[in-house]
């Protein structure tokens, strides 16, 4: 829509934002009117171009093919021009035929700051024309009021939030028409059922919706402060009402004319099952985070026991072995600590790797001046791969410090990450003594752990080689799980 507007017209930012607001909230108008809506923007060459369209979910559509990006037919242009220049709605006297069915057309100017900046074509399929029901008459009357507000620049409402919670009510879910005093003029059967589930008895017509709701409240409870304004139709807001195990999502659309309130349309939807599922998911998420938190605590306890045990060892080799085991357990605990603080089974690995590598380098250097520098970004890593990858990097940095830098009293370990979707290439390089050409990996326990994790857990490859300019570099290439998603910015676990 923005691209079409920039190529074919010269709208300022405020006008374009107004059109975006309109398109973001015009489905309710289309459903109430049983009509297709097409937004025609006047172009720089004096013509029009369709930049958005909306099909009704309550009736038959007119346009089975998209018309966005097309020009209007010759017979429609005069109507669009009159609506734009005269700044008032233009309705065709005779329907226009689209193949085998007739279409009633109306052109309504879109007004912003007192200026007509575009035109909406309201097109109703008359192929199934019959005597309208009371529900349909109320729908169309509400649609006429909203189209009039569009022509006066009073719809959409700038301060009408869509709401952060799912379950926004639609026209077919339940509709209530209110007068200016908040009394019910009409309630659709679905809307009546919603309030009957709350405990309201009898018909709603002629009664104040606020009083109906107040009468069914028989227990002290907290309510959203915006609820009375929504129930009276005075503010274009959304709210939820939960009572007696029933949850209703309510949205008010005030109707005005020349600054005077005509009434309002209140849409309602029974979202009891949706809210119940949301609570179940929240409980499950909290349980999973608590499990990660407890695993982290248990692993820290194991690390503390290993530390106490190492102090009682007289053999330096035994103390070093227990220290290495303690470090590995601490690395796994760090992964679970990170998972306990997130909603998804995804680890922001850049935060974790900085902490774990600094800890590994400090422990392995034993007082030497060792610096770890991380280049690039790891992104988000699935929990299935995070533990193995953290252990591998910790082992590689530890080996670089102990075997490459220890003899010269310190140095630098560079860790470079290159991410392309689910593919991750990591280089761990040090400026130490280096290894002979063709020597490859060593035979120590740390090297064996690394090779096993890379091959079996991460399904990747790893190679040791001399670094240009001195030192050693290890190149690791892996493909993270969930390759169908861009895990650099998002991802999810395949299951625990």
**Does an H or E element contain 111, and which?**
strand 101-112
Rounded-to-integer distance, Cα 107 and Cα 115, Å: 16
Percent of the chain with pLDDT over 70: 87
Residue 245 has a pLDDT of 84
Q: What CA–CA distance (Å, rounded) separates 213 from 219? A: 12
pLDDT class for 337, splitting at 50, 70, 90?
Answer: confident
Q: Report the pLDDT value the prediction gives residue 77, as an integer from 0 to 100.
A: 93
Q: Which two tokens stand for residue 302?
A: 């194991």
Q: Select, from the ranges 80-89, 240-249, 343-352, 479-488, the one with the highest average predicted confidence (pLDDT).
A: 80-89
Query: pLDDT tens-digit profile of 373-415?
Result: 888 888 888 888 888 888 888 888 887 777 656 555 667 888 8
**171-219 per-position pLDDT tens digit:** 999 999 999 999 999 999 999 999 999 889 899 999 999 999 888 887 7
Closest CA to 404 of 436, 426, 374, 373: 436
User: If you write DSSP's letter for every residue of 23-76 in order, what string do you get?
Assistant: HHT-HHHHHHHTSEEEEEEE-TTS-EEEEEEE--SSS--S-SS--TTPPPPTTT
CATH architecture of 347-496: 2-Layer Sandwich (3.30)
- What gap in Å lies between CA 237 and CA 168, rounded to an integer? 11
The separation between CA 41 and the C-alpha centre of its own chain, rounded to angstroms, equals 30
Whether the pLDDT of residue 104 is over 60: the answer is yes
Q: Do the two domains 2-132+140-152 and 171-270 of this chain adopt the same fold?
A: yes
C-alpha 269/C-alpha 436 separation (Å) is 72
CATH 3.40.50.300 is held by the domain 171-270: no
Q: What is the mean pLDDT of residues 221-229?
A: 79
Please, are residues 392 and 450 in contact by the beta-carbon 8 Å criterion? yes
- Identity of the highest mean pLDDT range in 107-116, 266-275, 339-348: 107-116
Q: Which residues share a beta bridge with 109?
A: 119
Q: What string of H, E and C letters represents the secondary structure of 231-287? A: HCCCCCCEEEEEECCEEEEEEEEEEEECCEEEEEEEEEEECHHHHHHHHHHHHHHHH
CB contact set of 124 (below 8 Å; sequence gap of 6+): 33, 34, 35, 36, 59, 62, 103, 104, 105
The average pLDDT across 32-58 equals: 94
The mean-pLDDT minimum among 10-24, 61-75, 472-486 falls in 472-486
CA–CA separation, 216 and 71 (whole Å): 54
Choose the CATH number for 2-132+140-152 among 3.40.50.620, 3.30.450.280, 3.40.640.10, 2.40.50.140: 3.30.450.280
* Other CB atoms within 10 A of residue 182 CB: 21
Query: Is pLDDT above 90 for 317?
Result: no
pLDDT band for position 496 (cuts 50, 70, 90)? very low
| Mean pLDDT confidence for 270-277 | 87
pLDDT per position as a tens digit, 124-141: 998 776 778 999 999 999
- At 487 the pLDDT is 40
For residue 29, count other CB atoms closer than 10 A to its CB.
28
372, 362 Cβ separation under 8 angstroms: no
3-state SS assignment for residue 375 = strand
What is the token pair recorded at 88? Answer: 């008032």
Q: What is the pLDDT of residues 137-164, one digit of tens each?
A: 999 999 999 999 999 999 998 776 654 4
Contact status, residue 342 vs residue 449, Cβ threshold 8 Å: no
Query: What ranges do the domains of the chain cover?
Result: 2-132+140-152, 171-270, 273-343, 347-496
What pLDDT, on a 0 to 100 scale, did the predictor assign at position 442?
Answer: 62
pLDDT of residue 439: 55
Total count of residues recorded for the chain:
496
């Amino acid at each position: 829509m923005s691209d079409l507007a920039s190529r074919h017209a010269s709208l300022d930012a405020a006008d374009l934002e107004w059109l975006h607001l309109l398109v973001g909230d015009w489905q309710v108008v289309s459903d109430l009117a049983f009509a297709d809506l097409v937004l025609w923007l006047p172009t720089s060459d004096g013509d029009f171009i369709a930049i958005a369209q909306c099909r009704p979910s309550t009736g038959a559509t007119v346009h089975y093919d998209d018309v966005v990006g097309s020009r209007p037919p010759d017979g429609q242009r005069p109507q669009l021009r009159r609506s734009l220049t005269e700044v008032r709605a233009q309705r065709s006297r005779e329907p226009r035929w689209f193949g085998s069915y007739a279409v009633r057309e109306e052109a309504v100017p879109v007004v912003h700051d007192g200026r007509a900046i575009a035109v909406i074509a309201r097109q109703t399929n008359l192929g199934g024309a019959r005597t309208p029901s009371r529900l349909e008459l109320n729908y169309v009357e509400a649609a006429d009021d909203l189209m009039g507000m569009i022509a006066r620049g009073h719809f959409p409402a700038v301060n009408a939030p869509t709401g952060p919670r799912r379950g926004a009510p639609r026209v077919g879910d339940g509709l209530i028409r209110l007068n200016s005093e908040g009394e019910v003029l009409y309630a659709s059967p679905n809307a009546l059922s919603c309030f009957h589930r709350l405990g309201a008895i009898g018909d709603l017509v002629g009664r104040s919706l606020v009083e109906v709701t107040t009468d069914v409240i028989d227990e002290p409870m907290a309510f959203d402060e915006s609820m009375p304004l929504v129930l009276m139709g005075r503010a274009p807001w959304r709210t939820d009402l939960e009572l007696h195990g029933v949850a209703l999502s309510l949205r008010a659309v005030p109707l005005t004319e020349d600054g005077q309130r005509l009434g309002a349309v209140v849409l309602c939807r029974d979202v009891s099952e949706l809210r119940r599922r949301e609570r179940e998911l929240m409980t499950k998420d909290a349980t999973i985070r608590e499990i990660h938190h407890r695993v982290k605590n248990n692993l820290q306890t194991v690390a503390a026991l290993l530390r106490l045990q190492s102090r009682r060892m007289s053999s330096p080799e035994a103390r070093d072995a227990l220290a290495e085991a303690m470090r590995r357990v601490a690395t796994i605990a760090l992964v679970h600590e990170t998972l306990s603080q997130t909603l998804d089974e995804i680890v922001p690995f850049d935060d974790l790797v900085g902490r774990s590598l600094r800890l590994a380098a400090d422990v392995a250097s034993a007082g030497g001046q060792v610096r770890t520098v991380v280049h690039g970004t790891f992104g988000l890593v699935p929990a299935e791969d995070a533990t193995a990858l953290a252990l591998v990097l910790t082992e590689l940095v530890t080996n670089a410090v102990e075997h490459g830098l220890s003899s010269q009293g310190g140095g630098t370990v560079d860790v470079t990450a290159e991410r392309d979707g689910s593919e991750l290439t990591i280089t761990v390089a040090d400026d130490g003594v280096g290894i002979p050409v063709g020597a490859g990996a060593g035979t120590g326990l740390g090297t064996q752990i690394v090779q096993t994790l890379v091959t079996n857990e991460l399904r990747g490859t790893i190679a040791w080689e001399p670094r240009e300019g001195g030192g050693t570099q290890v190149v690791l290439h892996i493909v993270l799980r969930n390759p169908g998603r861009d895990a650099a910015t998002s991802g999810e676990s395949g299951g625990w």
